[in-house]
A and B are shown apart, each in its own frame.
Chain A
Amino acid sequence: MIAPPRLSTILLAAITVLVAVLLYSPLFVPIVSSFFPVARGEVDWSSPTIETYVALTGNHEILSALRTTLVVGFCTVVLSVVGGTLLALYYHGRRAGRSALQFIIFLPFLMPPIISGLALLIFFREIGLERSLLTVIIGHTAFVLAIVYRTVLTRLQSMSRTLVEASYDLGATKWQTFWRIILPNLSSAMVGGAILAFALSFDETMITILVTGTQSTLPVRLWAMMRLGFSPDINALVALILMFTVLLCALAARFLVPRQIATQRA
């Protein structure tokens, strides 16, 4: 942009700083508190400690919820990657009804979670499926499928058509072409999509609350604890989750940012 006069830049910068402060304020308190003891609303800056982190390792409630979240996340990733990839291949193959199919895939992601969650709730009841970890996994998969589908499809569409033609030209069968050429070139998109799907599933709260059975994922457990108030080790958990999610997203970016494909000109 052309440099505007100094005053307006300063004003813009000030507002941006304000926005940043606003956005980071909810993060600030828990994370700071995880390193310093807080007594009666006052931060004791004199004695930094990792006591909260240590205490966290003994919090069995939280740890079991964490375990559940990981299990759900893993299953969701597997289902959505397999499903998303196959569906992307279907769409790319220009088969019947593909626009309608794509629309259905995107629905749970576009609709407010409350509607998706309630629809699934009623559905499970009507087909007699008890609310459990399985229903949570189904709910998460329906939600994140669109993401994996989109990342894989984008990669598929950017793959040069001549790569597949070259494979056939050299004598490969359809299956050989799929396994040796198409799938390897999709793999990084699949991994990137998987990581994003995991990150989304990890923090998914609203749908989960609606379709959860007796086992709680971490967000659901935290939600339940919220009425009673949090113990200090939750602050440590918050800091760790934040760091973990940031790393996940950075990792996903590494797989999804397009690299130089060799069919392009030097």
Chain B
Amino acid sequence: MRNAGLARPAAIRWSPLVTVLAFALPVMFVLAPLAIFLVYSFFSVDQGQIVYAPTLANYVRFFTDPVFLPVFWRTIVLCLSVAAISILLAYPAAYFLTTLRGRWRYALLMLLMVPLLMSYVIKIYAIRSILGLNGFLNKALVGLGILSEPSTLFVFNMNAILLTLTLLLIPFAILPIFLALERIPQVLLRASDDLGASSLQTFLRITLPLSLPGVASAASFVFVLAIGDFLTPQMVGGISGFTFGRILYSQFGTAYNWPFGAALSVALAVVVIVAILLGERFGRNRGASL
């Protein structure tokens, strides 16, 4: 084939050397650590020293020991709850955004995203004090007469983790749902209206189904962010709020069993990958073809 020299002019032609260079850093600082990580999960610890002999002991322990699997499961349920509540609150807000016109819509969206820009650590601290015995929430509930005295219901336990994570992650749920709602062509809604449907019917039969991919994305997004967070449970969970993330973290701290920690992380990674794949699968925008 005759070659006009710059056969693919839109590209810069690189030699194979550069392929190697391109892969070098990402492989070294991403793939290699993850590979070593995986390999580590098959090692064990003997009297504080790491034994580099492959074994399935860590995984066996994970599945058989009465502590780990239940906590793992509880954590998953907790994070699913966080996702569910976030969506329940985010959906109406996102829908309301779409009822606004032009500049107001994006201004309010930005306004709702601003809390994400605040220092993460301080946010957790502030929420903790709001939920605390002397905090704003208790004061309000007592003031409104719902409680007779301040409650420890949301202090240093799983509920606290649930509420804190939800509060932190709601904006991450608003965004995908808003984008999915926005993508629904106005024409479809007008057609439904034209065919005689009431607003509620239009919502239930047209808007809601077409926005579900956005809801799936939001759920996956929030779930992954929640389950990977080990700082929040540490700070607001107290003694009874024990999540998988904390157990994991302690393997690299006080428990000092890095191989076991690696194995636990692999379990966590599997759940995360499944969540991401599900989010991809159901988050694909099927609707809105005219």
Contacts and interface: CB of A to CB of B under 8 A. Distances in A.
SS of B interface (majority): helix
A70 interface: no
A97 B190 contact: no
A93 B6 CA distance: 13
Contact of B117 (A104, A122, A242): A242
A3 B12 contact: no
Interface stretch (A16-24, A46-54, A186-194, A258-266): A16-24
Interface residues of A, number: 84
Interface string B92-108: 11011111000000001
Contact of A245 (B11, B36, B118, B231): B118
A126 B34 CA distance: 12
Interface stretch (B66-74, B143-151, B153-161, B221-229): B221-229
B187 to A, nearest CB: 11
Contacts of A115: 37, 228, 265, 268-269, 272
Contacts of A24: 115
A70 B230 CA distance: 25
A41 B129 CA distance: 11
B9 A165 contact: yes
Given A94-B8, A126-B36, A104 B112 contact: no
B122 interface: yes
Contact of B26 (A92, A105, A209, A219): A105
B179 to A, nearest CB: 15
Interface of A: 1-5, 8-9, 11-13, 15-16, 18-20, 22-27, 29-30, 41, 83, 86-87, 89-90, 92-97, 101, 104-105, 107-108, 110-115, 118-123, 126, 138, 141-142, 145, 161, 164-165, 168, 174, 177-178, 182, 199, 203, 205-206, 209-210, 218-219, 222-223, 226, 230, 234, 238, 241-242, 245-246, 249
A-B pairs, 8 with minimum CB distance:
A112-B228, A123-B33, A26-B126, A119-B33, A245-B117, A93-B11, A12-B96, A119-B37
13 contacts: A25-B167, A26-B115, A26-B118, A93-B13, A96-B19, A107-B31, A111-B228, A119-B34, A121-B252, A205-B231, A210-B252, A219-B121, A246-B114
